[in-house]
Amino acid sequence: MEEQKYQQIIVPPAWYWLVKPVTRTTGHKDKRRYSPLVPCILQLYHNFLVPPVRQIYDQNSRMRRMSVFPQHGTALGNLGRTANEIRQEAEHSKSELVSDLVNLSAGARFQAIRSLPMSFNERKTVRNRVNSVKLSKTVLAADCRQQVSRSFRRFRASLASARQHLIIWQDTLKEIGGRFGTSVLSYFLFLKWLLQFNLFSFIINFCFITIPQIVHAPNISSTTGFRGLELLTGVGYFNQTVLFYGGYNGEEIVSKPVYNMQLAYFFTIAAYLVLCWVSLIYSMSRSFQKNFVLETGPVSGGAWRLLCSWDFSVVNEKAIQYNKNNLAIQLKESLSERLQEKNKMSLSDRIKHLSLHLLAWLLSLGLAIGSGAGIYFLGTDPELAFSFSHNPNNLRAEASTLLLPVVVSLINLIVPLLYSLISKIESYSNPRAKIYISIIRNVILKMSILGILCFYWLNFVPNSISCWESFVGQSVYRLLIIDFIFCLLGIFFGEFLRNVIGTMCIQSLGVPEFDIARNVLDLIYAQTLAWIGIYFSPLLPVMQVLKLFILFYLKKISLSLNCQPPKHTGRAAQIQTVFIALLFFPSFVGVLSMVAFTVWSLEPSNQCGPFQGLKTPFHTIFNWTASIQNFPESNWVWWIFENILRSELFYYLISLIVLVITYFLWQITQGRKQLIKTLREQIVNEGKDKAFLLNKLQNLQKERREMASYRPQDFDQTPHFNPNWMNTLPLDM
């Protein structure tokens, strides 16, 4: 009888399953294996997917390594290994980590060190080791390069801390977030972001256009005395000032370098619009990347609500209690949904719902079209529209110019309330669908109003009034001011009075909730107006800055006094992305097309403004390129302009390339979705493997214990990890 050294079969520790490579050859002939398509798909998309997926995978494996070793090791993980071996393993993985980090670039290295999931001291030791390795690697002559990079980093850090001085309202935002949560805070952050746009616009307009104009003041033809009404209507005293287009002159200012006012006006506004475009696209894509997930799967009720939705930034005791109540109610609702049978709607019910939806949509669109038509007829009423320009000194005529803005603001106030009444007759299966549909309807209303106004300004006004750009600027000014006044009235009536009514008179209504969607859409509307007005009135952003500033404080006060935080706080991040997207399209794109149309095809007025005498404002550029054609060193600019920017072939080629790239990226997205699905199936299979092998291990250990009690001297007492463990498993599993 041969003594058989009984080799202990060790199941690899838990981490092994996650760190080993994805494609493994398996000896299992089990039927519950993945389809043969998986290796093909993995191979096909390997080249495109390796960089980002590998990063996540590496980081996860690093984190897993660091977290499971050694003090948190599970009993299974440390099974069969001595303390020495565990320590060695930890040391080995740490040195692997250090060598990983050393090979990264400086910026990526610091980001990686900061995001290591270990305690602070361990992170510091890793950082010190990485630094010493880097130091030992560099030659003495490259020491100055080290100095330079270190001082560059210090400079960047000091720049970041200097930027913090410029951050306003930090304490206020913290207080708002602490009491009302992050979704209400997002409104205020949006407001602050819009403020930055307007501030920047004001600074560059003031520096490049207004200051040269003020220094070389043009002849002001006639000034009426300052009457109080100018603040509201923008005419009269303000008419020929630098507030509006008409106050600017297109002459070349004779100074050391000749300063061409026409070019300055054109390029300043063009540069600002291009910067806005870039900034909006950047914010939109970053927000989209963070907040929209690739796989479509229901992120429903319980799990997400319990584990991911608790708002840690709320610090106010009452607000926390309120949130706890809300969470309990929502959990109960989701439980009762699960318990009830989802009652199938009969055909007649469905037809009824559909017809109600159709009716609601018809009503909403009808209201929007009706308001548009009303504004159009009011605007083109010849008496009303041009009475002021014909009698500039008539106070009554001046006041009548305020009629159109008041009507527009009234429509903006009342019709959304009608929309919310209309939506009460409909029934939605999904509360999010309700929010999105109401947002769409309001956007249609506001954009149709703005569209009608722009159509009126660009089609009828240039032919009827002498200095029409100033007229448009003044109209925009009036709209903005009246909108601000109505906003204040809205705060008073909508929030303060409603709170009083809700708490004292009709108890059932309760304290009003802060309606984020409506407020953000109002902000977007006002910002669209401000952007439209920049070409016609370069200093209009000042007004918008002042308005946003005052609005911030008023809304904050009204919030603390009158409102309560919203009950359904889910998916705030996705709605944020939708708002930024709405700011870009249709708002900014509409403005851009309007300004482009004005600059490209409309004839500027003859008596005033920087472009007087030209056929279109764009002819400035033609004149300029023609003038620099004569200089040999700037010939290339003319060449680029004439042959590339003015030829259509260039734009066709660019569009074609962009379309091809978009199609290509879309295909990659589809491939990744497929990969995610197969990886998910693989995780499920791994779980089953794990359970199976655990079972087997338990059985073997039971057998071993029984045999040990029978023949104790045959067994090797020191356990060791057999690296060929896979070969010891029987093949017929």
Partner 1 sequence: MGNKQTIFTSQQLDAYQDCTYFTRKEILRLFHRYRDLAPQLVPLDYKNQPEVRLPYELIGSMPELKDNPFRQRIAEVFSEDGEGNMTLDDFLDMFSVLSEMAPRDLKAYYAFKIYDFNNDDFICKSDLEKTLNKLTRNELTEDEVRMVCEKVIDEADLDNDGRLSLEDFQHMIMRAPDFLSTFHIRI
Q: How far is CA 112 from CA 103, 136, 155, 273, 345, in A?
A: 12, 21, 20, 37, 53
CA separation for the pair 319, 165 (Å, rounded)? 30
User: What secondary structure does DSSP assign to 92-143, as a single string?
Assistant: HHHHHHHHHHHTS-HHHHHHHHHT--S-HHHHHHHHHHHHHHHHHHS-GGGH
Considering the complex, state which of residue 68 and residue 532 has its C-beta at the smaller distance from partner 1.
Answer: 68
Minimum gap (Å) between residue 120 Cβ and partner 1: 4
| 325 contacts partner 1 (rule: CB under 8 A) | yes
The interface with partner 1 within residues 608-647 (CB under 8 A) comprises none
One of 358, 497, 500, 684 touching partner 1 (CB under 8 A): 684
Pick the stretch among 334-342, 442-450, 469-477, 519-527 that binds partner 1 (CB under 8 A).
Answer: 334-342
Considering the complex, state which of residue 303 and residue 506 has its C-beta at the smaller distance from partner 1.
Answer: 303
Name the residue among 311, 375, 308, 301 with its Cα closest to residue 338.
301
Name the residue among 592, 47, 716 with its Cα closest to residue 269.
592
The interface with partner 1 within residues 115-144 (CB under 8 A) comprises 115, 117, 119-121, 123-124, 127-128
Considering the complex, state which of residue 237 and residue 288 has its C-beta at the smaller distance from partner 1.
Answer: 288
Q: Is 251 left (phi over 0), alpha (psi -120 to 50) or beta?
A: beta
How far is residue 14 CA from its own chain's centroid?
39
The interface with partner 1 within residues 404-463 (CB under 8 A) comprises none
Q: What angle do CA 385, 386, 391 make, to 5 degrees?
A: 135
Pick the stretch among 33-41, 111-119, 418-426, 653-661 that binds partner 1 (CB under 8 A).
Answer: 111-119
Q: How far is CA 433 from CA 373, 430, 522, in A?
A: 29, 5, 20
Considering the complex, state which of residue 377 and residue 692 has its C-beta at the smaller distance from partner 1.
Answer: 692
Number of residues lying near partner 1 (CB under 8 A): 80
Considering the complex, state which of residue 56 and residue 141 has its C-beta at the smaller distance from partner 1.
Answer: 56
For 236-321, strand residue ranges (E) read 252-253, 259-260
| 683 contacts partner 1 (rule: CB under 8 A) | yes
Which 3 state secondary structure label does DSSP give 25?
Answer: coil
Run of H or E including 580: helix 572-582
| Spatial CB neighbours of 138, under 8 Å, sequence gap ≥ 6 | 145, 146
User: What secondary structure does DSSP assign to 595-654, as a single string?
Assistant: HHHHHHHPPPPSSSBTTTTSSSTTHHHHHHHHHHTTSGGGHHHHHHIIIIIT-HHHHHHH
Pick the stretch among 64-72, 370-378, 601-609, 702-710 that binds partner 1 (CB under 8 A).
Answer: 64-72
Minimum gap (Å) between residue 114 Cβ and partner 1: 6
Considering the complex, state which of residue 46 and residue 154 has its C-beta at the smaller distance from partner 1.
Answer: 154
Considering the complex, state which of residue 356 and residue 676 has its C-beta at the smaller distance from partner 1.
Answer: 676
Minimum gap (Å) between residue 52 Cβ and partner 1: 13
| 110 contacts partner 1 (rule: CB under 8 A) | yes
The interface with partner 1 within residues 70-89 (CB under 8 A) comprises 72, 74
Packing angle between helix 182-205 and helix 540-562, nearest 10 degrees? 160
One of 162, 258, 347, 505 touching partner 1 (CB under 8 A): 162
Considering the complex, state which of residue 157 and residue 660 has its C-beta at the smaller distance from partner 1.
Answer: 157
CA separation for the pair 181, 196 (Å, rounded)? 23
Answer whether 612's CB lies under 8 Å from 605's CB. yes
Minimum gap (Å) between residue 118 Cβ and partner 1: 10
Considering the complex, state which of residue 263 and residue 320 has its C-beta at the smaller distance from partner 1.
Answer: 320
Burial class (CB in 10 A: 0-12, 13-18, 19+), 671: middle
One of 160, 167, 505, 649 touching partner 1 (CB under 8 A): 160
Considering the complex, state which of residue 74 and residue 607 has its C-beta at the smaller distance from partner 1.
Answer: 74
The interface with partner 1 within residues 212-251 (CB under 8 A) comprises none
Q: How far is CA 10 from CA 4, 404, 683, 707, 722, in A?
A: 17, 83, 22, 17, 7
For 121-229, strand residue ranges (E) read none
The interface with partner 1 within residues 541-570 (CB under 8 A) comprises 570
One of 158, 464, 655, 728 touching partner 1 (CB under 8 A): 158
Minimum gap (Å) between residue 71 Cβ and partner 1: 10
Identity of the residue numbered 365:
L
Pick the stretch among 5-13, 161-169, 476-484, 498-506 that binds partner 1 (CB under 8 A).
Answer: 161-169
SS3 track for 358-410: HHHHHHHHHHHHHHHHHHHHHHHCHHHHHHHHHCCCCHHHHHHCCHHHHHHHH
| 335 contacts partner 1 (rule: CB under 8 A) | yes
Answer whether 673's CB lies under 8 Å from 26's CB. no
For tokens 């054609």, name the residue.
Answer: 629
User: Mask: binding to partner 1, 39-58, rule CB under 8 A, as x and -?
Assistant: -----------------x--
Considering the complex, state which of residue 173 and residue 275 has its C-beta at the smaller distance from partner 1.
Answer: 173
Considering the complex, state which of residue 8 and residue 577 has its C-beta at the smaller distance from partner 1.
Answer: 577
Name the residue among 191, 167, 196 with its Cα closest to residue 516.
191
User: What secondary structure does DSSP assign to 437-465, as a single string?
Assistant: HHHHHHHHHHHHHHHHHHHHHHHTHHHH-
Minimum gap (Å) between residue 78 Cβ and partner 1: 12
Minimum gap (Å) between residue 504 Cβ and partner 1: 29
Which 3 state secondary structure label does DSSP give 9?
Answer: coil
One of 46, 680, 702, 711 touching partner 1 (CB under 8 A): 680
One of 509, 691, 708, 733 touching partner 1 (CB under 8 A): 691
User: Mask: binding to partner 1, 188-217, rule CB under 8 A, as x and -?
Assistant: ------------------------------
Minimum gap (Å) between residue 661 Cβ and partner 1: 26
| 310 contacts partner 1 (rule: CB under 8 A) | yes
One of 61, 78, 182, 629 touching partner 1 (CB under 8 A): 182
Considering the complex, state which of residue 58 and residue 91 has its C-beta at the smaller distance from partner 1.
Answer: 58
Minimum gap (Å) between residue 520 Cβ and partner 1: 16
Q: Is 322 left (phi over 0), alpha (psi -120 to 50) or beta?
A: alpha
One of 690, 697, 721, 725 touching partner 1 (CB under 8 A): 690
One of 177, 372, 379, 565 touching partner 1 (CB under 8 A): 177
The interface with partner 1 within residues 270-309 (CB under 8 A) comprises 290-293, 295, 297, 299-304, 306-309
